[in-house]
Structure 1
Amino acid sequence: MKLQEALEKLKSQGYKTTAKRQDILAYFDETDGYRTAKDLLQHMEPTYKGISFDTLYRNLHLFDEVGILETTELNGEKHFRITCTHHHHHHFICKDCGKTKEIDVCPMNEVQNSLGNYAIEGHKFEIYGLCPVCQDA
Protein backbone atom coordinates (compact mmCIF):
# COMPACT_ATOMS: atom_id res chain seq x y z
CA MET A 1 0.00 0.00 0.00
CA LYS A 2 1.42 3.35 -0.97
CA LEU A 3 0.93 6.65 0.85
CA GLN A 4 -1.88 7.99 -1.36
CA GLU A 5 -3.74 4.70 -1.14
CA ALA A 6 -3.36 4.71 2.66
CA LEU A 7 -4.70 8.27 2.91
CA GLU A 8 -7.68 7.40 0.72
CA LYS A 9 -8.44 4.38 2.87
CA LEU A 10 -8.31 6.54 6.00
CA LYS A 11 -10.67 9.10 4.42
CA SER A 12 -13.07 6.45 3.16
CA GLN A 13 -13.45 5.18 6.75
CA GLY A 14 -14.42 8.67 7.93
CA TYR A 15 -11.11 9.78 9.49
CA LYS A 16 -9.36 13.09 8.93
CA THR A 17 -6.07 13.14 7.06
CA THR A 18 -4.20 15.70 9.14
CA ALA A 19 -0.64 16.80 8.36
CA LYS A 20 0.58 14.77 11.35
CA ARG A 21 -1.17 11.63 10.11
CA GLN A 22 0.22 12.20 6.62
CA ASP A 23 3.74 12.55 8.06
CA ILE A 24 3.35 9.36 10.11
CA LEU A 25 2.19 7.41 7.08
CA ALA A 26 4.90 8.94 4.89
CA TYR A 27 7.51 7.71 7.39
CA PHE A 28 6.25 4.14 7.09
CA ASP A 29 5.88 4.43 3.32
CA GLU A 30 9.54 5.47 3.01
CA THR A 31 11.06 2.90 5.40
CA ASP A 32 11.91 -0.68 4.59
CA GLY A 33 10.67 -3.00 7.27
CA TYR A 34 9.06 -2.82 10.66
CA ARG A 35 9.61 0.20 12.91
CA THR A 36 8.74 0.94 16.54
CA ALA A 37 6.83 3.84 18.03
CA LYS A 38 10.19 5.02 19.42
CA ASP A 39 11.64 5.11 15.88
CA LEU A 40 8.63 7.14 14.77
CA LEU A 41 8.94 9.51 17.73
CA GLN A 42 12.58 10.24 16.89
CA HIS A 43 11.57 10.94 13.30
CA MET A 44 8.63 13.20 14.24
CA GLU A 45 10.14 15.21 17.12
CA PRO A 46 12.12 17.70 15.01
CA THR A 47 8.92 18.74 13.20
CA TYR A 48 6.41 18.30 16.05
CA LYS A 49 8.12 19.52 19.22
CA GLY A 50 6.70 17.82 22.30
CA ILE A 51 4.75 15.16 20.40
CA SER A 52 3.78 12.40 22.83
CA PHE A 53 3.88 8.65 22.69
CA ASP A 54 0.13 8.70 23.42
CA THR A 55 -0.56 10.66 20.24
CA LEU A 56 1.60 8.32 18.20
CA TYR A 57 0.16 5.15 19.73
CA ARG A 58 -3.41 6.34 19.16
CA ASN A 59 -2.63 6.91 15.49
CA LEU A 60 -0.66 3.68 15.13
CA HIS A 61 -3.55 1.74 16.69
CA LEU A 62 -6.03 3.48 14.37
CA PHE A 63 -3.92 2.71 11.29
CA ASP A 64 -3.65 -0.93 12.37
CA GLU A 65 -7.39 -1.14 12.98
CA VAL A 66 -8.20 0.41 9.58
CA GLY A 67 -5.74 -1.96 7.85
CA ILE A 68 -3.15 0.58 6.78
CA LEU A 69 -0.38 -0.75 9.03
CA GLU A 70 0.39 -4.31 10.00
CA THR A 71 2.02 -5.21 13.30
CA THR A 72 4.34 -7.80 14.73
CA GLU A 73 6.12 -8.22 18.03
CA LEU A 74 9.91 -8.30 18.13
CA ASN A 75 11.93 -8.54 21.33
CA GLY A 76 8.83 -7.81 23.43
CA GLU A 77 7.99 -4.59 21.56
CA LYS A 78 5.30 -3.88 19.00
CA HIS A 79 6.61 -3.02 15.52
CA PHE A 80 4.68 -1.56 12.59
CA ARG A 81 4.99 -1.43 8.81
CA ILE A 82 2.78 -0.26 5.98
CA THR A 83 0.49 -3.03 4.76
CA CYS A 84 1.30 -4.71 1.48
CA THR A 85 -1.86 -5.38 -0.50
CA HIS A 86 -0.58 -6.38 -3.93
CA HIS A 87 -0.29 -10.13 -3.29
CA HIS A 88 -0.40 -12.75 -0.56
CA HIS A 89 2.98 -13.29 1.05
CA HIS A 90 4.78 -13.64 4.37
CA HIS A 91 7.95 -12.12 5.83
CA PHE A 92 11.42 -12.80 7.08
CA ILE A 93 12.07 -10.09 9.70
CA CYS A 94 15.52 -9.08 10.90
CA LYS A 95 15.52 -8.97 14.70
CA ASP A 96 18.18 -6.22 14.76
CA CYS A 97 17.25 -3.69 12.07
CA GLY A 98 13.62 -4.66 11.36
CA LYS A 99 14.24 -5.03 7.62
CA THR A 100 11.84 -7.44 5.95
CA LYS A 101 12.09 -9.77 3.00
CA GLU A 102 8.99 -11.15 1.34
CA ILE A 103 8.47 -14.91 1.34
CA ASP A 104 6.08 -16.08 -1.37
CA VAL A 105 5.72 -19.62 0.01
CA CYS A 106 2.67 -20.13 2.21
CA PRO A 107 2.35 -23.16 4.52
CA MET A 108 -1.45 -22.96 4.71
CA ASN A 109 -2.22 -25.83 2.32
CA GLU A 110 -0.36 -28.25 4.59
CA VAL A 111 -1.84 -26.68 7.72
CA GLN A 112 -5.36 -26.88 6.27
CA ASN A 113 -4.86 -30.60 5.58
CA SER A 114 -3.61 -31.15 9.14
CA LEU A 115 -6.56 -29.36 10.72
CA GLY A 116 -9.23 -31.15 8.70
CA ASN A 117 -12.61 -29.76 9.70
CA TYR A 118 -11.35 -26.72 11.66
CA ALA A 119 -12.52 -23.33 10.33
CA ILE A 120 -9.41 -21.19 9.85
CA GLU A 121 -10.26 -17.48 9.79
CA GLY A 122 -6.82 -16.07 9.10
CA HIS A 123 -3.14 -16.62 9.50
CA LYS A 124 0.20 -14.89 9.87
CA PHE A 125 3.52 -16.55 9.15
CA GLU A 126 6.78 -14.82 10.04
CA ILE A 127 10.36 -15.99 10.23
CA TYR A 128 12.80 -14.12 12.49
CA GLY A 129 16.57 -13.92 12.31
CA LEU A 130 19.38 -11.64 11.13
CA CYS A 131 19.68 -10.12 7.66
CA PRO A 132 23.06 -10.37 5.87
CA VAL A 133 24.04 -6.81 6.87
CA CYS A 134 23.34 -7.41 10.57
CA GLN A 135 25.14 -10.77 10.47
CA ASP A 136 28.27 -9.01 9.20
CA ALA A 137 28.08 -6.29 11.87
Structure 2
Amino acid sequence: MDVLRAIKLLKEEGYKYTDKRKHMLQLFADEKRYLSAREVQEFLKTNFPGLSFDTIYRNLSIFVDLGILEETELDGEKKFRYTCPSGKHHHHLICLKCGKTKEIDACPMEKVTTDLSEFQITGHKFEIYGYCSQCTA
Protein backbone atom coordinates (compact mmCIF):
# COMPACT_ATOMS: atom_id res chain seq x y z
CA MET A 1 0.00 0.00 0.00
CA ASP A 2 1.16 3.53 -0.69
CA VAL A 3 -0.28 6.98 -0.09
CA LEU A 4 -1.87 7.40 -3.53
CA ARG A 5 -3.54 3.97 -3.48
CA ALA A 6 -4.74 4.57 0.07
CA ILE A 7 -6.27 7.94 -0.85
CA LYS A 8 -7.91 6.40 -3.91
CA LEU A 9 -9.40 3.64 -1.76
CA LEU A 10 -10.69 6.17 0.78
CA LYS A 11 -12.44 8.12 -1.99
CA GLU A 12 -13.89 4.94 -3.53
CA GLU A 13 -15.35 4.03 -0.14
CA GLY A 14 -16.95 7.46 0.26
CA TYR A 15 -14.48 9.06 2.66
CA LYS A 16 -13.27 12.63 2.19
CA TYR A 17 -9.72 13.44 1.21
CA THR A 18 -8.21 15.69 3.88
CA ASP A 19 -4.72 17.02 4.55
CA LYS A 20 -4.80 15.32 7.96
CA ARG A 21 -5.43 11.93 6.39
CA LYS A 22 -2.75 12.53 3.77
CA HIS A 23 -0.22 13.47 6.46
CA MET A 24 -1.11 10.38 8.47
CA LEU A 25 -0.73 8.11 5.47
CA GLN A 26 2.56 9.75 4.49
CA LEU A 27 3.90 9.20 8.01
CA PHE A 28 3.27 5.45 7.71
CA ALA A 29 4.89 5.42 4.26
CA ASP A 30 7.98 7.19 5.61
CA GLU A 31 8.35 5.21 8.84
CA LYS A 32 7.71 1.66 7.54
CA ARG A 33 7.18 0.36 11.08
CA TYR A 34 4.45 -0.03 13.66
CA LEU A 35 3.37 3.31 15.18
CA SER A 36 1.08 4.06 18.09
CA ALA A 37 -1.75 6.59 17.90
CA ARG A 38 0.28 8.78 20.29
CA GLU A 39 3.25 8.75 17.90
CA VAL A 40 0.93 9.78 15.07
CA GLN A 41 -0.49 12.59 17.20
CA GLU A 42 3.01 13.78 18.11
CA PHE A 43 4.00 13.88 14.44
CA LEU A 44 0.85 15.73 13.36
CA LYS A 45 0.73 18.32 16.16
CA THR A 46 3.11 20.70 14.32
CA ASN A 47 0.77 21.03 11.33
CA PHE A 48 -2.49 20.38 13.19
CA PRO A 49 -2.06 21.60 16.79
CA GLY A 50 -5.72 21.13 17.78
CA LEU A 51 -6.06 17.61 16.39
CA SER A 52 -7.64 15.36 19.02
CA PHE A 53 -6.53 11.88 19.94
CA ASP A 54 -10.07 10.65 19.19
CA THR A 55 -9.85 11.96 15.61
CA ILE A 56 -6.53 10.22 15.09
CA TYR A 57 -7.80 6.95 16.54
CA ARG A 58 -11.02 7.12 14.51
CA ASN A 59 -9.01 7.58 11.29
CA LEU A 60 -6.64 4.76 12.19
CA SER A 61 -9.67 2.50 12.71
CA ILE A 62 -11.07 3.51 9.31
CA PHE A 63 -7.71 2.73 7.70
CA VAL A 64 -7.68 -0.72 9.35
CA ASP A 65 -11.29 -1.44 8.32
CA LEU A 66 -10.43 -0.58 4.70
CA GLY A 67 -7.29 -2.75 4.73
CA ILE A 68 -4.93 0.23 4.38
CA LEU A 69 -3.30 -0.39 7.76
CA GLU A 70 -2.88 -3.50 9.85
CA GLU A 71 -2.76 -3.44 13.63
CA THR A 72 -1.09 -5.38 16.39
CA GLU A 73 -0.72 -4.99 20.11
CA LEU A 74 2.68 -4.35 21.68
CA ASP A 75 3.15 -3.62 25.38
CA GLY A 76 -0.60 -3.33 25.87
CA GLU A 77 -0.99 -0.67 23.18
CA LYS A 78 -2.39 -0.92 19.67
CA LYS A 79 0.14 -0.12 16.97
CA PHE A 80 -0.41 0.35 13.25
CA ARG A 81 1.51 0.04 9.99
CA TYR A 82 0.74 -0.16 6.28
CA THR A 83 -0.71 -3.47 5.18
CA CYS A 84 2.01 -5.51 3.54
CA PRO A 85 2.00 -5.17 -0.25
CA SER A 86 2.84 -8.81 -0.96
CA GLY A 87 -0.80 -9.89 -0.71
CA LYS A 88 0.30 -13.40 0.23
CA HIS A 89 -0.28 -15.00 3.61
CA HIS A 90 2.61 -14.37 5.98
CA HIS A 91 3.54 -13.41 9.54
CA HIS A 92 6.05 -11.01 11.14
CA LEU A 93 9.11 -10.66 13.29
CA ILE A 94 8.73 -7.38 15.21
CA CYS A 95 11.49 -5.43 16.95
CA LEU A 96 10.30 -4.37 20.40
CA LYS A 97 12.58 -1.32 20.43
CA CYS A 98 12.24 0.34 17.02
CA GLY A 99 9.12 -1.38 15.64
CA LYS A 100 10.87 -2.63 12.50
CA THR A 101 9.24 -5.70 10.97
CA LYS A 102 10.33 -8.58 8.80
CA GLU A 103 8.07 -11.01 6.98
CA ILE A 104 8.05 -14.69 7.89
CA ASP A 105 6.89 -16.98 5.10
CA ALA A 106 6.21 -19.97 7.37
CA CYS A 107 2.80 -20.40 8.99
CA PRO A 108 2.30 -22.29 12.26
CA MET A 109 -1.30 -23.15 11.31
CA GLU A 110 0.14 -25.71 8.91
CA LYS A 111 1.48 -27.58 11.96
CA VAL A 112 -1.76 -27.55 14.00
CA THR A 113 -2.79 -31.15 14.60
CA THR A 114 -5.80 -30.50 16.83
CA ASP A 115 -9.18 -31.31 15.31
CA LEU A 116 -10.69 -27.95 14.39
CA SER A 117 -13.80 -29.35 12.71
CA GLU A 118 -16.12 -27.84 15.34
CA PHE A 119 -14.90 -24.34 14.51
CA GLN A 120 -15.17 -22.13 11.49
CA ILE A 121 -11.75 -20.48 11.41
CA THR A 122 -11.94 -16.91 10.09
CA GLY A 123 -8.33 -15.90 10.61
CA HIS A 124 -5.27 -16.12 12.80
CA LYS A 125 -2.24 -14.09 13.76
CA PHE A 126 1.31 -15.12 14.57
CA GLU A 127 4.05 -12.68 15.53
CA ILE A 128 7.53 -13.16 16.94
CA TYR A 129 8.92 -10.38 19.13
CA GLY A 130 12.55 -9.55 19.80
CA TYR A 131 15.23 -7.04 18.87
CA CYS A 132 16.63 -6.36 15.41
CA SER A 133 20.38 -6.37 14.79
CA GLN A 134 20.54 -2.55 14.76
CA CYS A 135 18.89 -2.28 18.17
CA THR A 136 21.12 -4.94 19.76
CA ALA A 137 24.36 -3.44 18.39
TM over 0.5: yes
Matching residue's letter, 1:34: Y
| Cα distance in 2, alignment partners of residues 115 and 64 from structure 1 | 31
Following superposition of structure 1 onto structure 2, how do residues 107-118 of structure 1 map, counting pairs within 5 Å?
107-111=108-112, 113-117=113-117, 118=119
Q: Check if 1:49 corresponds to 2:49.
A: yes
**Structure 1 position 10, deviation (Å):** 1.3
| Cα distance in 1, alignment partners of residues 114 and 83 from structure 2 | 29
Matching residue's letter, 1:105: A
Matching residue's letter, 1:70: E
Q: TM-score normalized by structure 2?
A: 0.90
CA RMSD across the alignment: 1.4
Q: Percent identity?
A: 50
| Cα distance in 2, alignment partners of residues 26 and 110 from structure 1 | 38
Following superposition of structure 1 onto structure 2, how do residues 4-83 of structure 1 map, counting pairs within 5 Å?
4-83=4-83
Mark the runs of 5 or more structure 2 residues left unpaired by the alignment.
none
For 1:47-101, what per-residue CA distance to the aligned partner results, in whole angstroms no more than 9, with x for missing partners? 1122221111111111111211111110111100011142221110111111111
Contact 2:32/2:82 (8 A) holds in 1: no
Mark the runs of 5 or more structure 1 residues left unpaired by the alignment.
none
Match of 2:105 in 1: 104
**Structure 1 position 114, deviation (Å):** 2.8
| SS class of match (1:70) | strand
